[in-house]
Structure 1
Amino acid sequence: MTGEQHGPGPVITTAGLTKHYGAVHALTDLTVEVGAGVTGLVGANGAGKSTLIKILLGLLEPTGGHASVLGHDIEHGGQEIRRLVGYMPEHDCLPPDVSASDFTVHMARMSGLGASAARERSADVLRHVGLDEERYRPMGGYSTGMKQRAKLAQALAHDPQLVFLDEPTNGLDPAARNDMLRLVERIGSEFGIAVLVTSHLLGELEQVSDHVIVLDGGHLLRSSATGDFLQRTGSLLVEVVGTETERDRLGEALALRGLTCRPRGPMVAIDPPPPELAAEGVAHDLIRDVAAELGLGLMRLQPDRRHLEDVFLDGGAHV
Structure 2
Amino acid sequence: MTLLIELEGLTKRYGAITALDHVTAAVDGRIIGLLGPNGAGKSTLLKCLLGLLPYDGRARVLGLEAASDGAQIRDRVGYMPEQEAFLAGMSAVELCTYAGEMSGLPRTEAMQRAHAALYYAGLEEKRYQPIDGYSTGMKQRVKLAQALVHDPEILFLDEPTSGLDPQSREDMLALVAELPGRRGCAIVLSTHLLPDVERVCDHAVIMHHGGMRFSGTIDELHGARGRDSELFVAVKADAARLADALTAAGATCRVTSPLALEVDLPASATTRLVFATAHAAGLQVRELGVRRESLEAAFLRVLGDRAATDLVASEPASVPTATAVGGGAR
Q: If the length of structure 2 is used for normalisation, what is the TM-score?
A: 0.73
For residues 4-36 of structure 1, the C-alpha deviation after alignment (integer angstroms, 9 at most, x for no partner) is xxxx32111110101122321111111112224
Q: Is 2:57 the partner of 1:65?
A: yes
Q: Distance in 2 between matches of 1:223 and 1:253?
A: 33
- Give the aligned length: 264
Note the 1:89-238 alignment, pairs <5 A: 89-230=81-222, 234=230
Residue 153 of structure 2 contacts residue 186 of structure 2 at CA under 8 Å; is this kept in 1?
A: yes
Name the residue aligned to 1:295.
none
Q: Distance in 1 between matches of 2:46 and 2:98?
A: 23
For residues 34-71 of structure 1, the C-alpha deviation after alignment (integer angstroms, 9 at most, x for no partner) is 22411110000000000000111111111x21011112
Q: Distance in 2 between matches of 1:160 and 1:207?
A: 23
SS at match of 1:31: strand
Residue 33 of structure 2 contacts residue 203 of structure 2 at CA under 8 Å; is this kept in 1?
A: yes
Percent sequence identity over matched residues?
41
Residue 5 of structure 2 contacts residue 60 of structure 2 at CA under 8 Å; is this kept in 1?
A: yes
How much does 1:190 deviate? 2.4
Q: Distance in 2 between matches of 1:65 and 1:157?
A: 31
Q: Distance in 2 between matches of 1:18 and 1:71?
A: 19
2:47 alignment partner, one of 54, 67, 83: 54
Residue 2 of structure 2 contacts residue 63 of structure 2 at CA under 8 Å; is this kept in 1?
A: no
Alignment-mate amino acid for residue 60 of structure 2: S
1:279 alignment partner, one of 282, 288, 301: 288
Judged with a 3 Å threshold, the aligned counterparts in structure 2 of structure 1 residues 145 and 235 are, in CA distance, closer, same or farther, namely farther
Q: Is 2:28 the partner of 1:19?
A: no
Q: Distance in 2 between matches of 1:77 and 1:303?
A: 41
Name the residue aligned to 2:278.
none
Judged with a 3 Å threshold, the aligned counterparts in structure 2 of structure 1 residues 95 and 65 are, in CA distance, closer, same or farther, namely same
Residue 29 of structure 2 contacts residue 203 of structure 2 at CA under 8 Å; is this kept in 1?
A: no
1:312 alignment partner, one of 303, 307, 310: 303
1:254 alignment partner, one of 247, 253, 256: 256
Judged with a 3 Å threshold, the aligned counterparts in structure 2 of structure 1 residues 98 and 234 are, in CA distance, closer, same or farther, namely farther
- Give the aligned CA root-mean-square deviation in angstroms: 2.8
Q: Is 2:24 the partner of 1:31?
A: yes
Residue 125 of structure 1 contacts residue 156 of structure 1 at CA under 8 Å; is this kept in 2?
A: yes
Q: Distance in 1 between matches of 2:257 and 2:123?
A: 52
Unmatched segments (≥5 aa) in structure 2: 233-253, 266-270, 275-284, 308-330
Residue 38 of structure 1 contacts residue 194 of structure 1 at CA under 8 Å; is this kept in 2?
A: yes
How much does 1:114 deviate? 0.7
Residue 203 of structure 1 contacts residue 305 of structure 1 at CA under 8 Å; is this kept in 2?
A: no
Q: Distance in 1 between matches of 2:49 and 2:303?
A: 25
SS at match of 1:207: helix
Q: Distance in 1 between matches of 2:231 and 2:177?
A: 27
How much does 1:303 deviate? 7.5
Q: Distance in 2 between matches of 1:202 and 1:272?
A: 24
